[in-house]
Amino acid sequence: MDTYLRLAIQKKGRLSDDSLSLLKECGIKFSNGTGKLMAASRNFPIEFLFLRDDDIPGYVADGVADIGIAGENVVLEKNKNVSIVKRLGFSKCRLSLAIPKGHTYEGLTYFNGKSIATSYPNILGQFLQQNSINAEIHEISGSVEIAPGIGLAEAICDLVSTGSTLLSNGLKEVETVLRSEAVLIAGESLTEAKQSILNNLLFRLESVQEGRNNKYILLNAPNEKLDEIISYLPGMRSPTIMPLAQKGWSSLHSVINEDAFWEVIENLKKAGAEGILVVPIEKMIK
């Protein structure tokens, strides 16, 4: 029988769309009929298991799935026997402490003797312990943000992305407990065949991520400025330089990193670059 790597992903929710589109960008084709629990890829030895996100670390630890995509927050909270093999860069959010808007906040000691509602008792408990804060944790499974309003707790610890839910419940964010993003997790012992499929998947994920983090840039420059312009363009090796029909001018092609993007563009313009074109890269193989 052929070996398949079994990947657990969230059935429906904030992780689903980005997980599926990342896999598609990796060239992995499959059809996910709605309501199905499992699907297999048509062109890559991988099977999908569609689950609730909370169950993913446990299924991977038990070996029902070989790997999984889940929020780091859930992975740390469940504390199962799995390891993070890749950070995926989407579903970014933070787990934060929030208190009633009107209260003054002067530091973590605010929480001494207070009760805090959360769905993340383990992560919060560890955080409080590390900071020597003595607070009471109320574990609740949903709608944590309404807890102070109904008198269930004096503060909350919950996931935040923009903070608008907090504001509309009369709360303000005062401390970040954890920064989270989607991560790829794996169980402890994969067979050699499965490990080799995972390595292939990781290679594809890296090529897609590198492509997203870089841009292809083309520009024209007077020849006497080339040295200065090249000094701003690291490229994969060095820029490609081609003569233009117009005498004394060249066309230059290179790759630049998204992080340094605007700074590089400003330097290039100052150095005399013209007709700068920036093009997205679909995949980048190192």
From 21-29, 48-56, 183-191, 222-230, span contacting ligand ATP (CB under 6 A): 48-56
Give whichever of 54 and 173 is closer to Zn ion, judged by the CB atom.
Answer: 54
Using Cβ positions, the residue closest to ligand ATP within the complex turns out to be 71
From 6-14, 221-229, 255-263, 276-284, span contacting ligand ATP (CB under 6 A): 6-14
Determine if 118 is a binding residue for ligand ATP (CB under 6 A). Answer: no
Determine if 53 is a binding residue for ligand ATP (CB under 6 A). Answer: yes
User: Using CB under 5 A, which of 47, 54, 173, 228 touches Zn ion?
Assistant: 54
Size of the site for ligand ATP (CB under 6 A): 15
From 49-57, 95-103, 104-112, 145-153, span contacting Zn ion (CB under 5 A): 49-57
Residue 273 interacts with which of ligand ATP, Zn ion, none, CB < 5 to 8 Å by class: none
Determine if 176 is a binding residue for ligand ATP (CB under 6 A). Answer: no
From 12-20, 34-42, 80-88, 210-218, span contacting ligand ATP (CB under 6 A): 12-20
User: Using CB under 6 A, which of 5, 93, 155, 255 touches ligand ATP?
Assistant: 93
DSSP per-residue string spanning the chain: ----EEEEEESSSTTHHHHHHHHHHTT------TT-SEEE-SSSSEEEEEE-GGGHHHHHHHTSSSEEEEEHHHHHHHT-S-EEEEE---S-EEEEEEEETTS---SGGGGTT-EEEES-HHHHHHHHHHTT---EEEE-SS-GGGTTTTTS-SEEEEEESSSHHHHHTTEEEEEEEEEE-EEEEE-S---HHHHHHHHHHHHHHHHHHHHHHEEEEEEEEEGGGHHHHHHT---SSS-EEEE-SSTTEEEEEEEEEGGGHHHHHHHHHHTT-EEEEEEE-S----
Sites of contact with ligand ATP (CB under 6 A): 10, 13-15, 52-54, 71, 73-74, 91, 93, 159, 161, 180
